[in-house]
């Protein structure tokens, strides 16, 4: 196998940005071993894995966040960053001669991803976790992520030390009210999904109801399809079956599955109200 060019990382970074990413970083594949469960580490997916290239981008536009939830849920852009990941994998194999595996964005079983893209983004120095959960980049806010596992020995980037969360307005709100925008909009103590606090200016998430959150985020996706289909099959009344199968809910669920991320996530409220999620560029 040919030696890896000295400028390989630079070329990968430039190629990813040309393809549509806004950030690109590299994580050491071995760094996952201490924190990721067995079966979900880079070497479990690609034997001999040395590096994980992570790209981020395709975030909702500023105007999307101001739109109604019904409009925002139809602004899905996640597939765009997956195409960047595929192009990075192709570049590594075709130009450098090292194995490269594009990590599928789905789940291996239940709600467990093949590889945690949030962890990959953290280890690649592209962002940090927020009280609400998503990885936030200091400059661009909330991004969607894609990862490529490779046997190429690329130099790893350093994880962030100064996190984007909590943002200054959130620290101020915590001092005044003992809460933050994301915790206030979805408090686990009042039937929501999030619980946490700020200590010495650092965000500490103490509670997250994943199952409850999943029922809200994926309302019209595969779980919704399964629920209505099961109910329709068990319904003895022909007219009620028609109502279930031809109604708005089942139609939207089919739309969500057909167009994938175009209509998959129905709840963005924690990110909608998060000052750090929308990036640093001022809009008017």
Give me the chain's average pLDDT, please.
Answer: 90
Look at residue 7 and tell me whether its pLDDT is greater than 80: yes
Other Cβ atoms less than 10 A from the Cβ of 64: the count is: 18
Cα angle for residues 13, 15, 20 (degrees, 5° grid): 100
DSSP class of residue 165 equals -
Provide the β-strand partners of residue 207: 195
Task: Answer with the residue of higher pLDDT: 190 or 3.
Answer: 190
Task: Answer with the residue of higher pLDDT: 18 or 227.
Answer: 18
Cβ 50 vs Cβ 153: under 8 Å: yes
> What region, left, alpha or beta, does residue 260 occupy, with left being phi > 0 and alpha being psi -120 to 50 degrees?
left
Domain ranges for the chain: 8-150, 168-210, 219-263
The pLDDT > 90 percentage for the chain reads 68
Q: 173-205 burial, b if ≥16 CB within 10 A, otherwise e? A: bbeeeebbbbbbbbbbeeebbbbbbbeeeebeb
């Amino acid at each position: 196998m040919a030696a890896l060019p000295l400028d390989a990382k630079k070329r990968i970074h430039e190629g990813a940005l040309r393809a549509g990413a806004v950030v690109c970083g590299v994580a050491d594949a071995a760094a996952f071993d201490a924190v990721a469960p067995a079966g979900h580490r880079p070497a479990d997916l690609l034997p001999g894995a040395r590096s994980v290239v992570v790209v981020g981008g395709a975030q909702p536009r500023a105007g999307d966040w101001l739109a109604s939830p019904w409009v925002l849920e139809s602004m899905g852009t996640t597939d765009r960053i997956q195409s960047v990941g595929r192009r990075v994998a192709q570049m590594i194999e075709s130009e450098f001669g090292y194995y490269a595996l594009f990590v599928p964005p789905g789940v291996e079983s239940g709600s467990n991803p093949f590889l945690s893209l949030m962890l990959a983004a953290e280890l690649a120095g592209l962002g940090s976790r927020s009280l609400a959960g998503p990885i936030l980049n200091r400059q661009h806010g909330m991004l969607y992520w894609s990862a490529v596992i490779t046997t190429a020995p690329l130099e790893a980037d350093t994880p962030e030390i100064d996190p984007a969360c909590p943002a200054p307005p959130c620290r101020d709100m915590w001092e005044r009210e003992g809460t933050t925008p994301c915790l206030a909009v979805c408090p686990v103590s009042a039937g929501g999904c999030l619980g946490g606090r700020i200590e010495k200016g650092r965000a500490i998430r103490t509670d997250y109801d994943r199952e409850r959150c999943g029922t809200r985020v994926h309302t019209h996706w595969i779980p919704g399809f399964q629920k209505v289909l099961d109910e329709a099959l068990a319904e003895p009344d022909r007219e009620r079956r028609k109502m279930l199968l031809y109604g708005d809910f089942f139609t939207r669920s089919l739309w969500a599955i057909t167009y994938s991320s175009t209509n998959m996530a129905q709840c963005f409220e924690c990110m909608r109200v998060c000052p750090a999620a929308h990036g640093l560029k001022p809009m008017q």
